[in-house]
Chains A and B, each alone.
Chain A
Amino acid sequence: MVAGSHPKDIWATATRADGMTSARVRPATVERGARAPAGVPDARRVEAYRWMVLARLVDERCLTLQRQGRIGFYVPLEGQEAAQIGCALALEAADWIFPAYRELGLALVRGVPLETLFDQFIGNSGDVLKGRQMPNHYGYRDRNFVVASSPVGTQITQAVGAGLAARRRGDAIATIAFFGDGTTSSNDFHAGLNFAGVFRAPTIFFCQNNQWAISLPRAQQTHSATLAEKARAYGFEGVVVDGMAIDEVYRAVRQARERAVAGDGPTLIEAQVYRFGPHSTSDDPKRYRPAGELEKWKQHDPVAGFRDELIREGRLTVQDDEKLWEAARAEVASAWKTAESKPPVDPLSFLDDVFAQPTRELEDDRRRLAALLAQREGKP
């Protein structure tokens, strides 16, 4: 891990990374008269760090597991831990999350057990989603964590709809959609922001601009100076935050949430981060990223940066830190071991849940498949 301070010139680094000038990127604005919320509260700072470490270790483990062929695919979040954990901590449990497929940090903070996530990655009999989806495409209704899909942006309009429904029901919650820089070019991004503006939806649009949409750099995604400024065209505020700094993210999300719940409408937050790893286990960033870029961003590693802050604040010692990593490693290993030992998913279950009740055709298919499987087993 890289130790050291978190320099103020991160935007200059961002500039070198994507060719923008630093003057075009501005920090989060605070509405006049509004009370700027503090960062991650004292009581939750070590917890926040622990989540970040856990997310980092799950990533590390899953990349290995994928290479070993023990899981089929993986979407890493390394580099985006502060953005995700800071955001998750700023939300309330009743807020509805509409994730993309990279939101492991959010899922952990929401209390989805690691073992449950591993069950999903394997698609085993413990998988709540019954082995239906690729790894990382999960959702847990009891955590208000809506199930993700692969098409980018579709969750954005859905988050707006859920926000409007919550308002109609009189529930004082926010809905929040997660997406990346590439998604700001999608139909649903524009439709969703437009609907949210028109209907003043209690919705937060949380864009993790990790600088690369698979191989396309941010500068080629849009000619806009920032992604956040797109909100202005839809009549509400967009803010840029340093997504490597957990307190900045926390403050921006807290403020956006207060605005949403107060009936003051949506907010677009652009958290500027960097994807340290590949888009997924199916690509190699060396093919498209300029040499040296990753190394520059790694100097602002959000996990190392926050650790150093906590040490400076006297909340963590080097010994505590070592123990924390050790405990997290043991937690990951134990959860994986349990998940991997579970039996596979019921082979007939893929025919369920197409409709509330199966059609006659699906019932016939089930009978035929059951007979085929019985035949394979050598049963009559």
Chain B
Amino acid sequence: MTELTLVQAVNRGLFEAMRQDPDVLLLGEDIGLNGGVFRATEGLQKEFGAERVIDTPLSECGIVGTAIGMALYGLKPIAEIQFMDFIYPAFDQIVSELAKFRYRSGGQYPCHVVIRTPYGGGIRGGLYHSQSTEAFFCHTAGLKVVVPSTPADAKGLLLTAVHDEDPVIFLEPKRIYRSVSGEVPEGDHRVPFGVARTAREGSDVSILAWGAMVPTSLEAAAKLADEGISAEVIDLRTLVPLDEAAVLASVEKTGRAVIVHEAARNAGFGAELAARIAEKALYSLRAPIARVTGYDTPFPYALEHLYLPTPERIESAAREAVRAG
């Protein structure tokens, strides 16, 4: 065990994956000499060389298209998109190609690319360095969507992603890259996909969150405890595949659900969670399902503290749910 920040844990995960398998290689912008704009790839080019840690020209469709070609040939590329906000030039490659290769070929061409990208707000990044658009990818059949919230999970889920057989969108909550640290197991630490983590146990209300919203939700849960409200915090870890059973079990226990995400509310992944709860646990509910989310606006710069869910907003939603029944 070593105490690491989340971004250091990503870095250790990459070191581990590259040591394990010579077919693993990285490609992206400024990831080599510069070690990535967030230093997630620090030291990797020095250790593994420029043939395996490849600084590419500035083209996201080029990065992902090239990574797909490498994967089809049998390598295990990990592509870095510098910010999730810049992933859109590669959207066609991700949605039309990466997600569909196995399917459209009748299973002849698996296409295992891991795309790592920092996402989310809270770093004063404005419109184009803050977005949280996981719903686009969850909506696309064929992609796995992973969002760690702790250093140990960052490493463990990343190593699972590298060893998976399907394409993975690996979303790194950049807001807590350095603000969160924790014990991270050494070596080949793996955390399975589709298994949610109970970040805090509780009995009155279930708070469902992922990524950077997990520590925010835990903060809210701690304050709620002071008021005598016992909140359970479920960290989904992977949105696809979803640990639906864990969500339903928690909601059936507490009878109340508060869904928290940074992304805009309209058609966010929270809507999917709300629908699943309504379909399969409606009669356990004692209060309407609540969503605490970003607003249906573009991501604002100066007022991001109002846009992003805060412990205060989560507490208020939880209180209301408890009051309702």
A interface residues, Cβ below 8 angstroms from B = 96, 98, 127-130, 132-133, 137, 139-141, 146-147, 149-151, 154, 156-166, 168-169, 175, 187-188, 191-192, 194-195, 198-199, 352-356, 359-361
Contact = CB atoms under 8 A, between A and B. Distances in A.
Q: Which 9 pairs from chain A and chain B are nearest by CB?
A: A161-B69, A157-B65, A191-B62, A165-B73, A161-B66, A356-B165, A158-B69, A162-B69, A147-B105
Contact of B96 (A128, A151, A352): A151
Interface string B27-64: 00000000000000000000000010010110101101
A160 B69 contact: yes
| B interface SS class | mixed
A43 B99 CA distance: 43
Given A127-B106, A356-B165, A149 B66 contact: no
Contacts of B141: 354
Interface in B205-244: 240-242, 244
Contacts of A157: 61-62, 64-66, 68-69, 93
A147 B101 contact: yes
Given A149-B97, A352-B107, A359-B194, 18 more contacts: A129-B108, A147-B101, A147-B105, A147-B109, A149-B100, A151-B96, A154-B97, A156-B65, A157-B64, A157-B93, A159-B69, A161-B68, A166-B73, A169-B74, A191-B59, A191-B61, A353-B106, A359-B241
Contacts of A166: 73
Contact of B69 (A137, A151, A163, A360): A163
A230 to B, nearest CB: 16
A355 B102 contact: yes
A354 B73 contact: no
Contacts of A151: 92, 96-97
Interface of B: 25, 51, 54, 56-57, 59, 61-62, 64-75, 77, 89, 92-93, 96-97, 100-110, 141-142, 144, 164-166, 194, 240-242, 244
Given A154-B92, A158-B97, A168-B51, A188 B106 contact: no
B73 A162 contact: yes
Contacts of B108: 128-129, 139-141, 147
Contact of B106 (A128, A164, A195): A128
Contact of A162 (B61, B70, B105): B70
Query: A137, A140, A353: which has the most chain B beta carbons within 10 Å?
Result: A353
Contact of A154 (B56, B65, B75, B77): B65
Contacts of A163: 69
Contacts of B65: 154, 156-158, 160-161, 188, 191-192
A139 B300 CA distance: 46
Contact of A356 (B69, B166, B242): B166
Contacts of A191: 57, 59, 61-62, 65
Contacts of A199: 54
Contacts of B51: 168
B283 to A, nearest CB: 20
A232 B163 CA distance: 40
Given A139-B109, A355-B102, A355-B166, A175 B96 contact: no
A147 B107 CA distance: 11
A141 to B, nearest CB: 4
Nearest to B165: A356
10 contacts: A158-B65, A161-B65, A161-B73, A164-B66, A165-B74, A175-B69, A188-B93, A191-B61, A194-B62, A353-B106
A354 B66 contact: no
A69 to B, nearest CB: 24
A143 to B, nearest CB: 10
Given A157-B61, A159-B69, A353 B75 contact: no
Contacts of A129: 104-106, 108
A194 B57 contact: yes
A156 B68 CA distance: 11
Given A141-B105, A354-B103, A192 B62 contact: yes
Nearest to A198: B57
A161 B106 CA distance: 22
B57 A165 contact: no
A164 B109 contact: no
B193 to A, nearest CB: 10
A127 B104 CA distance: 12
A352 B142 CA distance: 11
Contact of B144 (A159, A160, A352, A355): A355
A359 B240 contact: yes
B146 to A, nearest CB: 14
A195 B100 CA distance: 23
A88 to B, nearest CB: 20
A133 B93 CA distance: 17
Nearest to A358: B241
A156 B97 CA distance: 12
Contacts of B100: 149
Nearest to A120: B106
B142 A354 contact: yes
A161 B59 contact: no
A375 B19 CA distance: 54
B73 A132 contact: no
A161 B105 contact: no
Contacts of B74: 165, 169
A128 B109 CA distance: 12
B62 A195 contact: yes
Contacts of B77: 161
